Amino acid sequence: MSLSIGVGRIVRDPSRKDAFVLGAAASYPTDRPARQLDDPGGGVRRISLRYVDGALEQRYQRVAGGESLTGFRITTAAAAAIWLLAAVAIPTGTPIPVERAVVACFAIGLLNWVAFVLSERFETLDRQHAILSFLTSVNGLVILWLASTGGVLPGYGISAIMLLFAFGFVSRTGFVFAAWRTVVISVGYVVAVALYTGRGNLVVDDLIYGAAVAGTLVALRLLEQSRRRVFYQDIVITRQADALRAEMDRADALLHNMLPTSISSRLLDGERTIADEYPSVTVLFADIVGFTQLAGRLPAGEVVALLDRLFARFDELAADRGLEKIKTIGDAYMAAGGLTKPLADHAARVVDLGLAMIDIAAHDIDSRADLQLRVGVHSGPVIGGVIGHEKLAFDIWGETVNIASRLESQGVPGRVHISAATERSIGDLFQVEPSGRVLLRGYDPMDTYTVVGRRQSTVS
């Protein structure tokens, strides 16, 4: 005789070498459009490129702001340092008066340094880009003023403006902020060109300036689109990974609930052929007396609910004693001790489980049902293993299983019927009465015993 634990088909998840998933678990196809997932949605507005969903935009601002804070600090500190150097370089290399250059350079350098010092307050990306765009606009207008009044607008002035655009690109300024910053500087440039009275030709400078403006805006727009797309894809991937991980955890938990823990762990570790010999195990069978008649007079829902409550309590009792529930078979319950982990006192634990099950059935489940159990227990060797390909099952079989089943069927209701092998293993922990020699189907007559009760309150 053999009994099995059946589970749904288990397949290996190709993305995890150490995991299996139940065939019924939900799958998440990678080609599913992101908008169909249960998430805020990744749509952005056409002009501003901001996410349509306000919560997603706020999240982006916080995350991207944290990532960009170091760049913001480097940009403002570098700008402050360059303006301090310019206070020396401009009077030396240009006809701009010293007092005008020094005052302007120190003032703008100080402004950039203040932004650097207060940078920790600018935690969102919008705040950082607003400050950078303001600073860039002020820097650009001051450069144009110095270049125009000093007669060096061609060459020096345009070169300095190009440097500003380079800083704006390095800081990855948002497109909207880059656009209004460009408008401010362009107005200043147009005014400077209109007021320019020098002999130099500004056609080439105008061309360079226009190309720089157009190239920078296009590049920053593409950069922001890419940055937002990657941000949203990371969210989708994370949610898919979390959902898959949750499904894997549920599948693993279900497998652990349906199979002995050591067996399910071996399956999840990738072991495919599991066959073991267990030299010393105690097996218990319990059956409800008169269940067929009881099921005939109760509605189906009440029958199922009754069994559910009863077997749930049995599961708790077995787990409390470190025993393995093997299977429920109709109204019968099977458990074993010493099966997948060594227990020196597995026979005593299993007998104690049988007594507790009898008490639970008689008093704690449904007094109207008047439930009585027959319990049979035998100790000895068994063979266990996992069989099947499409549907896996953990089986145990051997004479120990057969004899325990026979002892249950010929036992006395409300008592635990044990073999001589089990009686020798439990010592003096229980009050035991001989039942005489009993003829079990398929075996020679053997000595059996009935457990009346416990001699000690607990079994260690």
Q: What is the pLDDT of residue 367?
A: 57
Using one digit for the tens of pLDDT, what is the confidence trace for 42-84?
788 888 899 998 899 999 999 999 988 988 898 899 989 998 9
Question: What mean pLDDT do residues 149-176 have?
Answer: 79
Question: Does the pLDDT value for residue 17 go beyond 60?
Answer: no
Q: What is the pLDDT of residue 145?
A: 87
Q: Which of 102, 109, 71 is nearest to 87 (CA)?
A: 102
Question: Does the pLDDT value for residue 308 go beyond 50?
Answer: yes
pLDDT class for 15, splitting at 50, 70, 90? very low
Q: What is the pLDDT of residue 208?
A: 85
Choice between 196 and 217, residue whose per-residue pLDDT is larger: 217
Question: What mean pLDDT do residues 76-94 have?
Answer: 89
Question: Does the pLDDT value for residue 29 go beyond 70?
Answer: no
Are the CB atoms for 106 and 84 separated by under 8 Å? yes
Question: Does the pLDDT value for residue 12 go beyond 60?
Answer: no
Reported pTM: 0.57
**Which residue type, as a one-letter code, is found at position 259?**
L
**Residues 6+ away with beta carbon under 8 Å from 311:** 328, 333
Q: What is the pLDDT of residue 400?
A: 94
pLDDT class for 448, splitting at 50, 70, 90? very high
Q: What is the pLDDT of residue 41?
A: 56
**Phi, psi values for residue 95, rounded to 5°:** -80, 10
Question: What mean pLDDT do residues 290-301 have?
Answer: 84
Using one digit for the tens of pLDDT, what is the confidence trace for 210-227?
888 888 889 889 999 999
Q: What is the pLDDT of residue 369?
A: 58
Question: Does the pLDDT value for residue 394 go beyond 80?
Answer: no
User: Residue 173 — left, alpha, or beta (φ > 0 → left; ψ -120 to 50 → alpha)?
Assistant: beta
List the structure tokens of 409: 């069927």
Using one digit for the tens of pLDDT, what is the confidence trace for 251-294?
777 766 667 777 777 777 777 777 788 999 999 999 998 888 88
HSE-CB of 383 using CA atoms within 13 angstroms: 7
Alpha carbons 250 and 411: distance in angstroms, whole number: 40
Domain range annotation of the chain: 54-237, 273-454
Q: Which of 417, 14, 21, 56 is nearest to 249 (CA)?
A: 21
Q: What is the pLDDT of residue 26?
A: 36
Q: What is the pLDDT of residue 189?
A: 86
pLDDT class for 315, splitting at 50, 70, 90? very high
Question: Does the pLDDT value for residue 19 go beyond 70?
Answer: no
Question: Does the pLDDT value for residue 25 go beyond 60?
Answer: no
Question: Does the pLDDT value for residue 24 go beyond 50?
Answer: no
Q: What is the pLDDT of residue 62?
A: 92
Judge residue 94's burial from the number of C-beta atoms within 10 Å of its C-beta, 0-12 exposed, 13-18 middle, 19 or more buried.
middle
Q: What is the pLDDT of residue 415?
A: 92
- What sections of 360-457 are H helices per DSSP? 399-409, 420-425
Pick the CATH number of 273-454 from 3.40.50.720, 3.90.1150.10, 3.30.420.40, 3.30.70.1230: 3.30.70.1230
Q: What is the pLDDT of residue 365?
A: 66
Residue whose pair of structure tokens reads 């570790």 in the numeric block: 269
Alpha carbons 57 and 44: distance in angstroms, whole number: 9
Question: What mean pLDDT do residues 309-335 have?
Answer: 91
As a whole-number percent, the residues of the chain with pLDDT over 90 amount to: 35
Alpha carbons 337 and 359: distance in angstroms, whole number: 20
When the pLDDT of each residue in the chain is averaged and rounded to a whole number, the result is: 82
The CB-based long-range contact list for 307-312 (8 Å cut-off, 24+ gap) reads 307/331, 309/365, 309/366, 310/360, 310/361, 310/365, 310/371
Q: What is the pLDDT of residue 346?
A: 94
Q: What is the pLDDT of residue 30?
A: 37
Give the range among 22-36, 224-238, 431-445 with minimum mean pLDDT.
Answer: 22-36
Are the CB atoms for 220 and 168 separated by under 8 Å? yes
